[in-house]
Amino acid sequence: MIEINKSIDKSVPLLLLLLYLLGNVCLAELRGSGDLGVVIERERGSVLIIETSKRSILARVEKLGDLSHASVVFSRDQRYAYVFGRDGGLSKIDLLQDKLVRRVVQAGNSIGGAISQDGRFIAVANYQPGGVKIFTSDTLELVADIPAVYGDDKRSRVVGLVDAPGRQFVYSLFDAGEIWLLDMRDPSRIEIQKFSDIGRQPYDALLTPDGRYYLAGLFGESGLALLDLWHPEEGVKRILPEYGKDDEKLPVYKMPHMEGWSVTGNLAFVPAVGLHQVLVIDMLQWRLVKSIPVAGQPVFVMARPDGRQIWVNFAFPDNQQVQVIDVEDLSVSRTLQPGKGVLHMEFTPRGEEVWISVRDDNQILVYDTRSFQEMARLPAVSPSGIFFTSRAAKTGL
């Protein structure tokens, strides 16, 4: 016994030396984070950290709660991912050390969030209790709690939260039919501008890539609500009030999303609610250019970063396919069948490839966006959202 102890004592310096050497080896593997990303595994409550250069999975980070409908934003140094869970959880993940840094459960039910222009603040949109909460991005400390109160003390669910230039956040109140513009210039004195009567049940919104226009989709009526952030004093305007009036609306089995850069040149591409159509809007005059017939009710309508193609996925029961719209023709040029339950798509930073999550097949498919060839298949457990760190530098994402 004693002898063994002695030998351990002797080996301590040796062990230290070994650890030191190991540490150096780890340091030798310094890497950047511009080609990293995360994939949500909704049922497992975990995320995969992936890498797009070699199309590989690097790690899994677990215990993140209920991740149905989870979304992600990135710190401006592209090292940290902030994951917004359905159960109100806000988790900060270190992509270089593959670990959960901090997690707060800040509400009962939430829908997504945004990071401020300067990267200092994280805003979360909550359903229950309805409102927005703002946290510091480094320590996740609560900075402000802004209940979405309307009418006689009712609280609305909040949707379509985005960051905007000038350290602002913009979001919509689903139940109240309002848009709120939150000015964080002075974080200790947040100013709120409210726009009411913007239309019934705004369900999601997009910010144009230049950060100028906030466009909210309406579920409760036709048309979209438009706010020009260069001229908020002009108020919210209604555009395309007549769209889909003559078509018979189908029941909606999954709410469409507007997030994603679906803007290319002067054209914005948005999903039509309850119709098998993608709407093309001319952003100079804010009128409908065309409604493109597609294979189902669109959910995500996303522009390839160079704006040449628009990729579309669909709601139940058409969610086994993906269609590609050619921006020059404004018509569908390709139909792909990635598998059952296509939930999300994400382009590599410059768009040569697209990653697609296929929930029921427990797979992520990677396609070349020029040849449409399948480049890789990666295993993931019920994957949903895919988010790459290149989002860090994009306003409104």
Q: Residues interacting with another protein, by CB under 8 A?
A: 42-43, 45, 65-69, 86-87, 108-109, 111, 127-128, 157, 174, 201, 203, 219, 251-255, 316-318, 320, 341, 359-360
| Residues 240-279, interacting with ligand HEC (CB under 6 A) | 252-253, 255
Closest distance to another protein from the beta carbon of 42 (Å): 6
Q: Which is nearer to another protein, 323 or 389 (CB)?
A: 323
- Of these partners, another protein, ligand HEC, none, which one is at the site of residue 304 (CB under 5 to 8 Å by kind)? none
Closest distance to ligand HEC from the beta carbon of 129 (Å): 18
Residues in the chain: 397
- Of these partners, ligand HEC, another protein, none, which one is at the site of residue 133 (CB under 5 to 8 Å by kind)? none
Q: Which is nearer to another protein, 332 or 381 (CB)?
A: 381
Count, residues near ligand HEC per rule CB under 6 A: 3
Alpha helices (H) in 347-389, listed in sequence order: none
CA atoms within 13 A on the CB side of 89: 21
Exposure b/e, 157-192, CB count within 10 A at least 16 = b: bbbbbbbbeebbbbbbbbbbbbbbbbbbeeeeebee
217 vs 225: CA distance, rounded Å: 7
Q: Which is nearer to another protein, 220 or 265 (CB)?
A: 220
Strand order across the beta sheet in which 383-388 lies? 56-61, 46-51, 36-41, 383-388
211 vs 261: CA distance, rounded Å: 11
| Strand-pair category, 263-264 with 236-239 | unpaired
Q: Which is nearer to another protein, 145 or 360 (CB)?
A: 360
Q: Which amino acid is at 343?
A: L
Closest distance to another protein from the beta carbon of 108 (Å): 8
73 vs 32: CA distance, rounded Å: 18
Q: Which is nearer to another protein, 164 or 356 (CB)?
A: 356
Closest distance to another protein from the beta carbon of 47 (Å): 15
Nearest to 210 by CA among 228, 184, 237, 191: 228
219 touches ligand HEC (CB under 6 A):
no
Q: Which is nearer to ligand HEC, 296 or 396 (CB)?
A: 296
Closest distance to ligand HEC from the beta carbon of 386 (Å): 22
In the complex, the residues that contact ligand HEC under the rule CB under 6 A are 252-253, 255
